[in-house]
Amino acid sequence: MAVSPIGIFDSGFGGLSIFREIHRLLPQYDYIFIGDNARAPYGDRTFDEVFEYTNQAVHRLFDMGCPLVILACNTASAKALRTIQQRELPQMEDPTRRVLGVIRPTVERVGNLTYNGHIGLVATRATVSSRSYDMELAKMGHVTLTSQACPKWVPLIESGRLHDETLYNEVRHDLAQLFEADPDIDTIILGCTHYPLITSTIQQVLIDLDHPEVILMPQGKSVSYALQDYLRRHPEMESRLSRGAEQQGQTSFYTTGDVDSFEQLATLFLGHNERIKVQKAIIP
């Protein structure tokens, strides 16, 4: 196993949409990905549960040698990131390890996409109720944010039903509500890392609802460029990370859930020619 990889964590498959872009931009580093599929979805869980599970996964990634962990999950970023950064990290025997999230990098870029300042957010109930996006966007000045919780999407994605009619109907129902609340939305933040796995369904619904011009904003690119920038500004962290020969690092994938279904869906989504190898993780 790689000695000092970057850790990437999500409640399940969603973090792959972040990992894919990070790996595309920064292939030289080693990575460990953990999906907590056995306990996903996190979106309807309590604050304490999301914090506890995320904290356990972060500790596991630290124990596996990662000096830097990305919470590739909005729900975990909204509910656990700040407490981990402010309370957990300073108490650890190595307080120089770091944990970063996905919400701030997304908010920093969305202003470049919207023309009229009317932004929509689709996310889990936990992310919407945390109001993390509202608070971050308020720092940016004049934009209108309208949020829509989409509690049914992640369970369907986690069960692998990516092209199911039920999924289409749920997406249509939730996006119709979003446009009812603000018909002027010109940009939608996909504020759950699972959602890029169903981009084609979301695009089809936008066409069917007569909003084909709306810009969809997945988070992978914002997060990967923010990470690149972070590593430039923090050479003390960058120099700790292990990397592979010829600018090609290694990635180890772990799931707490079913290894076989993770291998299938991850291979498909990451577009690998050969089936990726996934190992079982037991957390805590």
148 binds ligand DGL (CB under 6 A): no
Identify any residues that bridge with 255 across adjacent strands, giving them in sequence order: 35, 280
Instruction: By CB under 6 A, name the one of 2, 5, 9, 10 that touches ligand DGL.
Output: 10
Tell me the window of 41-49, 160-168, 223-231, 254-262 that interacts with ligand DGL (CB under 6 A). 41-49
Which C-beta is closer to ligand DGL: that of 70 or that of 206?
A: 70
The DSSP call for residue 195 is G
Query: Residue 107's closest CA among 137, 84, 70, 81?
Result: 137
Where does residue 129 rank: exposed (0-12), middle (13-18), buried (19+ CB within 10 A)?
Answer: middle
Q: Which of 37, 55, 106, 124 binds ligand DGL (CB under 6 A)?
A: 124
Pick from 41, 120, 196, 249 the residue near ligand DGL by CB under 6 A: 41
Structure tokens at 193: 């890392």
- By CB under 6 A, residue 154 contacts ligand DGL: yes
| Residue 192 among the catalytic residues | yes
73 part of the active site: yes
Q: Considering only residues 5, 7, 14, 196, which one is a binding residue for ligand DGL as defined by CB under 6 A?
A: 14
Torsion sign across C-alpha atoms 185, 75, 199, 219: positive
CB of 176 to ligand DGL, least distance (A): 21
CB atoms within 10 A of CB 175: 23
The residues near 82 (Cβ < 8 Å, ≥ 6 apart) are none
Q: Any contact of residue 74 with ligand DGL (CB under 6 A)?
A: yes
The verdict on 39 binding ligand DGL (CB under 6 A) reads: no
Collapsing DSSP to helix, strand or coil, 69 comes out as: strand
Name the site residues for ligand DGL (rule: CB under 6 A).
10-12, 14, 40-43, 73-75, 124, 127, 154, 192-194
